[in-house]
């Protein structure tokens, strides 16, 4: 079985106790802290910013990623890398110079990622996969938590699984990652999952217990 990278989506965390949330998730054994950055233009919502990333970085040594759902992300990637992000995802639709921006992310010492919307084809990103350390498949439309899984994205995931060994990227899944979806898509070859309200937050259970279950371990 492929090791499952478990990545809590921190926009779903309790911001009244953010430091405690980070510590508890870290102690539970999550792999990557996922930060959704939205500008209200590329997607119709505002969420996290540089100061949130800095706060999360302060309380964990684990990897931190930033999913930039913003216009012209190439102008802002330095902000988030300097704030402590290890992985930066951009959307090809929002960036005029995608290759330049991905290369710059790597030059800054971070991992480069592409976020693939439900209506973005694998063919349209095939020429930039050699620059990607991570490819994140959006199985919902970006912008809001709590949406239903879009069934036809499974085909895209299968296409990327066939390509990941050639290019060396990891496949991450973002959107309605229930325990059942995690089990199924891990079996298809997906490497990691963004965990929101469908899997980990708002469950009134210890994070450590939930993380063990999502890894297929006995509690």
Q: Quick check: is 133 catalytic?
A: no
pLDDT-derived band at 218 (thresholds 50, 70, 90) equals low
Instruction: Choose the catalytic residue: 52, 65, 174, 191.
Output: 174
Instruction: Choose the catalytic residue: 26, 36, 133, 151.
Output: 36
pLDDT tens for each residue of 99-138: 999 999 999 999 999 999 999 999 999 999 999 999 999 9
Instruction: Please give the DSSP secondary-structure letter assigned to residue 5.
Output: E
In terms of average pLDDT, the best of 39-43, 45-49, 153-157 is 153-157
Q: Quick check: is 191 catalytic?
A: no
Average pLDDT score, the chain: 93
Burial class (CB in 10 A: 0-12, 13-18, 19+), 88: buried
Angle (nearest 5°) at CA 28 between 27 and 29: 90
pTM score, two decimals?
A: 0.95
Cβ(24)–Cβ(211) below 8 Å? no
Closest C-alpha to 191, from 111, 95, 110: 111
CATH 3.20.20.70 fits 5-214, yes or no: yes
């Amino acid at each position: 079985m492929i090791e499952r990278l478990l990545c809590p989506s921190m926009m779903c965390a309790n911001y009244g106790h953010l430091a405690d949330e980070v510590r508890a998730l870290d102690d539970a054994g999550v792999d990557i802290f996922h930060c959704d950055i939205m500008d209200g233009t590329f997607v119709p919502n505002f969420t996290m910013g540089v100061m949130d990333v800095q706060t999360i970085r302060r309380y964990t040594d684990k990897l931190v990623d930033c999913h930039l759902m913003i216009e012209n992300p190439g102008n802002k990637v330095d902000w988030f890398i300097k704030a402590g992000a290890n992985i930066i995802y951009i959307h090809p639709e929002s960036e005029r110079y995608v290759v330049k921006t991905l290369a710059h992310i790597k030059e800054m010492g971070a991992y480069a990622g592409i976020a693939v919307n439900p209506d973005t084809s694998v063919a349209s990103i095939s020429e930039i996969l050699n620059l990607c350390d991570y490819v994140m498949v959006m199985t919902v439309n970006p912008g809001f938590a709590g949406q239903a899984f879009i069934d036809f994205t499974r085909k895209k995931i299968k296409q990327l699984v066939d390509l990941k060994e050639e290019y060396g990227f990891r496949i991450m899944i973002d959107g309605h990652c229930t325990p059942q979806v995690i089990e199924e898509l891990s079996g298809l070859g997906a490497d990691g999952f963004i965990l929101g309200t469908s899997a980990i937050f708002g469950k009134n259970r210890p994070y450590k217990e939930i993380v063990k279950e999502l890894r297929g371990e006995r509690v």
